[in-house]
């Protein structure tokens, strides 16, 4: 199924930058009816030999068929990630795509930072942090760049628009896992 997820994402990105990439969606949905089930996905785009992040957009909660979620998030990662300029057709052949299918986030109860540290499994758990109107998430893959617990959470707090030590304010924490599929 991973190849189909990647195909859907690549076709959506190609079309969003004005390139032809024809797929027969009806035929794919007929062959893989599970794609019509609700699901949540993140689409990550990297570029170049160093696999530099170029866009990453996704959904935390399943609310539409997974094939739609992948297509919509692929287009959004290419064109609407506020951290980057829109992807253009010239960059298309230099990108790599990763699709992460998320499990449903589960609330994680904890008393303090030490207990939280014990309950989080780096490289396995994606984390959603919520405090007031602020929210951010890091996929489990982010542990590869931010493997230290303190560093991971300070960056997550900042991504949410909060101070780096926001974990001291006891935000809500949710964890999830992903099945990831990446172009080679």
The tens digit of pLDDT for each residue in 62-95 reads 999 999 999 999 999 999 999 999 999 999 999 9
pLDDT at 54 over 90: yes
Rounded CA-CA distance 10/32 in Å is 18
Residues 9 and 21 occupy one common structural domain: yes
The 8-class DSSP code of residue 74 comes to H
**Helical ranges in 58-179 per DSSP H:** 66-79, 113-119, 149-159
Residues 73 and 138 in one domain: no
Kind and range of the H or E run holding 54: strand 52-58
Residues 90 and 8 both lie in one domain: yes
- Please give the model's pTM, rounded to 2 decimal places: 0.92
- Indicate whether 47 belongs to any domain: yes
User: Per-residue confidence at 120, pLDDT binned at 50, 70, 90?
Assistant: very high
Which domain does 42 fall in, by range?
Answer: 2-102
Average pLDDT of every residue of the chain: 97
114 plus 40 within the same structural domain: no
Q: Which of 47, 101, 45 is nearest to 77 (CA)?
A: 45
Reply yes or no on whether the pLDDT at 184 is more than 90: no
Residue ending a domain, among 102, 117, 149, is 102
Indicate whether 142 and 61 sit together in one domain.
no
């Amino acid at each position: 199924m991973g190849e189909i997820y990647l195909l859907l994402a690549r076709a959506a990105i190609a079309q969003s930058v004005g390139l032809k990439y024809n797929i027969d969606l009806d035929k794919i949905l007929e062959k893989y009816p599970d794609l019509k089930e609700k699901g949540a996905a993140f689409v990550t785009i990297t570029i170049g030999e160093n696999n530099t992040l170029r866009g990453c957009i996704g959904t935390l909660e399943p609310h539409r068929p997974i094939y739609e979620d992948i297509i919509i998030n692929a287009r959004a990662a290419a064109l609407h990630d506020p951290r980057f300029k829109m992807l253009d057709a010239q960059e298309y052949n230099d990108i790599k795509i990763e699709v992460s299918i998320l499990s449903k986030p589960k609330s994680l109860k904890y008393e303090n930072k030490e207990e939280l540290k014990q309950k989080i499994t780096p490289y396995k758990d994606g984390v959603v942090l919520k405090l007031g109107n602020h929210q951010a998430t890091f996929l489990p893959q982010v542990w590869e760049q931010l493997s230290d617990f303190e560093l991971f959470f300070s960056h997550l707090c900042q991504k949410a628009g909060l101070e780096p030590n926001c974990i001291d304010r006891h935000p809500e924490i949710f964890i999830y896992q992903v099945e990831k599929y990446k172009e080679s």
